Amino acid sequence: VIKCRAAVAWTPGKPLSVEEVEVAPPKAGEVRIKIVATGICCTDEHLLQGCFPHAEFPVIPGHEGAGIVESIGEGVISVKPGDKVIPLCMPQCGECSFCQNPESNFCKKSHFSETQNLLPDKTSRFSCKGKQIHHFLWVSTFAEYTVVPEYAVAKIDDAAPLDKVCLFACGFSTGYGAAINTAKVKPGSTCAVFGLGGVGLSVVMGCKAAGASRIIAVDINKDKFAKAKELGATDCINPRDFKKPIQEVLTEMTGQGVDFSFEAIGQADTMIAALASCNMSTGVFVMVGELDSGSQISIDPGLLLTGRTWKGSVLGGSWRMRECIPKLVASYLEKKFNSDLLITHTLPFAKVNEGFELLRAGK
């Protein structure tokens, strides 16, 4: 058993508490990882506010991490102690019908099908003050050590800087893949990206890599426009600068609406605006943002009747995580893109709550 620090969410709506926790050794088919760096994502914020479906407290959040294998359980063959790895919040068991489908990155063992609050044997490897602590999406990267199933671990290149590639566990892969894989953005096309956080900026990067000729970035925070342009946006607009709905503005800017639109915020009204900003015949809208658990959206069916498409994308569409994350890291090392620009602050672990304050402030 390892004793280490972890940021524990004891109840929803309260700040995280950095505690000493006990992390049990890995059982058969499991891997214990020393987490070196982790990003903070809005999904963690959903969890802290009690808006993430089927989560249980107390829990150790975090799902955007990178680290080094400390020990392995019986039967583990794909990684060994000392390997650099990224733990995956979307597992790849390799056996379910989705994993067998080459066009799918979904796995039936993910939280959308069965909860990942405990490891597959329905027990936790975390305890604190004599109490069982729940896992989050099996990864719980807000702990200095964590235990995950082998099929939720991707081995990466030893040259990878863990404090940079931790973003590939969620934010970067989610946005970049939504453009490349889910939308399949075409060269010369026009795109609109709603929301310029880490995920939205990664969508911008994906649209640029796919050869889009015009990338319109939409956000109410003008402070994000310079970074968006640096990453490939051709236009940046603030909906608050116009008296008419933003979908009308985008339609006027493009003549008929954009070819591809993306919502990376997680709000019903912006999703409908993003859908309506697509051209009515062949426009494709990709939902990337995450709505609060139990949310519903009411839309005019006429928006879809003429041919628009509404698609969802989780963790970058068809990235098969165990196979694709190492390839993405290799592309990063070859300098095919610069995801480092997404990192705005680097904080010590003890200031994790400060990190969430920066997130909430849009910084």
**pLDDT tens-digit readout, 261-297:** 999 999 999 999 999 999 999 999 999 998 887 889 9
Domain extent for 321: 2-170+317-361
Of the residues 273, 296, 312, the one at which a domain ends: 312
Shared-domain flag, residues 191 and 291: yes
Beta-bridge partners for 18: 7
Shared-domain flag, residues 223 and 326: no
Shared-domain flag, residues 162 and 190: no
Of the residues 312, 330, 350, the one at which a domain ends: 312
Of the residues 272, 287, 312, the one at which a domain ends: 312
Integer angstrom CA distances of residue 264 from 59, 83, 182, 217, 356 = 26, 33, 14, 11, 18
Shared-domain flag, residues 119 and 160: yes
> Quick check: 110 and 36 in contact, CB under 8 A?
no
CATH number at residue 121: 3.90.180.10
Which pLDDT band, with edges at 50, 70 and 90, does 319 fall under?
Answer: confident
Shared-domain flag, residues 212 and 339: no
Q: Is the pLDDT score of 7 beyond 90?
A: yes
The per-residue pLDDT for 65 is: 97
Shared-domain flag, residues 46 and 159: yes
Nearest alpha-carbon partner for 166 in 98, 74, 85, 270: 85
Structure tokens at 337: 């893109």
Structure tokens at 348: 């010590």
Shared-domain flag, residues 210 and 124: no
> Quick check: 237 and 216 in contact, CB under 8 A?
yes
Structure tokens at 26: 């890995």
* pLDDT, the chain, mean: 94
CATH number at residue 218: 3.40.50.720
Question: What is the Rg, in whole angstroms, of the alpha carbon atoms belonging to the chain?
Answer: 20
Longest CA–CA separation in the chain, Å: 63
Which pLDDT band, with edges at 50, 70 and 90, does 82 fall under?
Answer: very high
Total domain count for the chain? Answer: 2
Shared-domain flag, residues 20 and 150: yes
- Least confident among 8-22, 60-74, 310-324, 328-342: 310-324
> Is the bond into 102 cis (omega within 30 degrees of 0)?
no
The per-residue pLDDT for 173 is: 93
Strands 65-72 and 284-287: unpaired
Shared-domain flag, residues 163 and 276: no
- Least confident among 62-76, 98-112, 143-157: 98-112
Shared-domain flag, residues 75 and 183: no
Shared-domain flag, residues 7 and 100: yes
Q: Is the pLDDT score of 114 beyond 90?
A: no
What is the reported pTM?
A: 0.92
Shared-domain flag, residues 264 and 157: no
Integer angstrom CA distances of residue 305 from 226, 229, 278 = 37, 34, 13
Structure tokens at 53: 């479906």
- Give the neighbor-by-neighbor strand order of the sheet with 145-149: 145-149, 30-38, 65-72, 84-87, 153-155
Q: Is the pLDDT score of 316 beyond 90?
A: no
